[in-house]
Amino acid sequence: MRTGISELAIRLRNREISAVELTKAYIDAIEKLNPTLNAYVHLTFDTALKAAEKADQMLKEDDAPLLCGIPMALKDNICTDGLTTTCCSKILKGFKPYHDATVWEKLKAHGAVLLGKTNMDEFAMGSTSETSCYGAPLNPRNTNYVTGGSSGGSAAAVCANLAVYSLGSDTGGSIRQPASFCGVVGLKPTYGAVSRYGLIAYGSSLDQIGPLTNSVKDAAIVFDAIKGGDKRDQTSVDYDYGSSLAECLDRDVKGMRIGVAEEFFNGINPEIKSKIEEAIKLFEINGAVIENIRLPALKLALPVYYIIACAEASSNLGRYDGIRYGYRTSFYTSIEDMIVKTRSEGFGDEVKRRIMLGTYVLSSGYYDAYYKKACLIREEINREFDAVFEKCDVLVAPTAPNTAFPLNYKGASPVEMYLSDICTVPVNIAGVPAISVPCGEDARGLPIGMQIIGRRFDEATVLQVAHFYEQIAGKVIGAYEGGAGI
């Protein structure tokens, strides 16, 4: 396994390598591989080197934080003061935020070194990262395939060792699904566990920021650094997790109750199903109690998700008018004409589709039939999850019904693409935490991800089960050769 954050932190402290040298190694690797992989869309090498120099100073102190001097990446929808942030949309062309997202403020205080902003589906709307206005990132494991989405660049950067870790955002699976497609670890925390201040909004009741890493331990370390309440995000919660989660990972699964719901396995590719079943067997052999449970309302999760997410998106994206920031059309006859043309030229097709669906379900005459009903079914899905978690400590499920799609795959309609989010969206609807960990490869050598879902604010158990699996399963996917070589 690649060098983890803890080992790098030791090497930095032992002066085996400096933060500047480490950063330069990553810059070289990015210069070499990014022209092909397109994982990064904005590079911040100058500020990275300055941050690395500062980190080297911080590392002279005994109490330097674990993440000090570690090179990393942020998804292009996380605001960075003065550094271009575009959500990979033409409408935010050239936008330089005037504030830092809380997560970036926290990581900066830890001495993090930002290498750049990563590629993503436009406004995080998509499952392949192909709706990016910069073109799709390529899957480092096989460049004929997509990275998944929407945090595709963040997953590719970690997979190809072009960053030690990255942050993504997950509204309906956008951290976990690309993590699964690229064979890395992706954690979607509990809704409210991490501040959304400075995250450019898509579906505000579903969005959550989380880490993509090479190991469960690294995910725990990054989550420890970014979690916590924030006055600037009224939906964030200052939950008392007790001690550092990264220090409490060692726990076996003896006596643990692991739930398996058949609803997560309907229509799943048989190769994926068999890998997840092997993992479940492994838990059982190691003393876990497997509970077969039902979540009947899950069959409504997809339409509920798309109705709620698009309704929120249509409202959130109302702010893009070409007046205060971003792209503005060149020819117009009135202010109204300017706004309409700016939006029509600035947004891509998938974003327009979702704004239109959101406008439809919120419009007079349809609000009760769609939006209100979706909110009520959301409550039912929440109740089902609550009932299941009275009997089970975690649930185990596939992360996605398929492995990575071929690039430019034209065989699926928009709705068929929406159906590929079936395993991940229920988690966002219920606001519970979930992690995706690699659990094997398909016949083409493409990674398969397993999802471990937990109770709200019980990231500790989710991480412990995932860490246990990682330790006992051994090598489940091939190593990626290349990148920074560290």
Judged by beta carbon, residue 106 or residue 328, the one nearer another protein is 328
- Check 150, 166, 314, 420 and give the catalytic one: 150
Q: How far is the CB of 205 from another protein (least distance, A)?
A: 10
Distances from the Cα of 291 to the Cα of 175, 255, 284, angstroms: 27, 12, 10
- Check 89, 154, 166, 174 and give the catalytic one: 174
Q: Which residues bind another protein (CB under 8 A)?
A: 94-96, 98-99, 231, 234, 294, 296-297, 299-300, 302-304, 306-307, 314, 318, 321, 323-326, 328, 331-335, 337-341, 343-344, 347, 352-353, 355-357, 359-361, 363, 370, 373-374, 376-377, 379-380, 413-415, 418
CA angle 200, 139, 124 (to 5 degrees): 15
Rg (CA), the chain: 21
- Among candidate residues 245, 247, 179, the one with its CA nearest the CA of residue 212: 179
Q: In what order do the strands lie in the sheet with 71-75?
A: 40-43, 113-118, 71-75, 165-169, 209-213, 185-188, 434-441, 447-454, 394-398, 257-261, 289-293
Contacts of 96 (CB under 8 A, 6+ apart): 82, 83, 84, 85
Residues 64, 13 contacting (CB under 8 angstroms):
yes
Which uninterrupted H or E stretch holds 42?
strand 40-43
C-alpha 10/C-alpha 217 separation (Å) is: 15
Region of residue 13 (phi > 0: left; psi between -120 and 50: alpha; otherwise: beta): alpha
Contacts of 127 (CB under 8 A, 6+ apart): 121, 148, 149, 150, 173, 177, 417, 420, 421
Q: How far is the CB of 14 from another protein (least distance, A)?
A: 41
Q: Count other Cβ atoms within 10 Å, centred on residue 333.
A: 8
Q: Count other Cβ atoms within 10 Å, centred on residue 228.
A: 18
Q: How far is the CB of 174 from another protein (least distance, A)?
A: 20
Judged by beta carbon, residue 10 or residue 356, the one nearer another protein is 356
Contacts of 244 (CB under 8 A, 6+ apart): 220, 224
C-alpha 432/C-alpha 426 separation (Å) is: 9
Judged by beta carbon, residue 11 or residue 341, the one nearer another protein is 341
| Three-class DSSP category at 146 | strand
C-alpha 126/C-alpha 435 separation (Å) is: 19
Residues 184, 166 contacting (CB under 8 angstroms):
no
Token digits of residue 417: 């693409």
Region of residue 326 (phi > 0: left; psi between -120 and 50: alpha; otherwise: beta): left
Q: How far is the CB of 323 from another protein (least distance, A)?
A: 6
- Among candidate residues 11, 29, 105, the one with its CA nearest the CA of residue 66: 11
The answer to whether 174 is a known catalytic residue is yes
CA angle 345, 347, 352 (to 5 degrees): 115
Q: How far is the CB of 50 from another protein (least distance, A)?
A: 21
Q: How far is the CB of 41 from another protein (least distance, A)?
A: 18
The helix/strand count (H/E) of the chain reads as 15, 11
Strands (E) in 162-243, as ranges, are: 165-169, 185-188, 209-213
The answer to whether 150 is a known catalytic residue is yes
Which residues carry out catalysis? 75, 150, 174
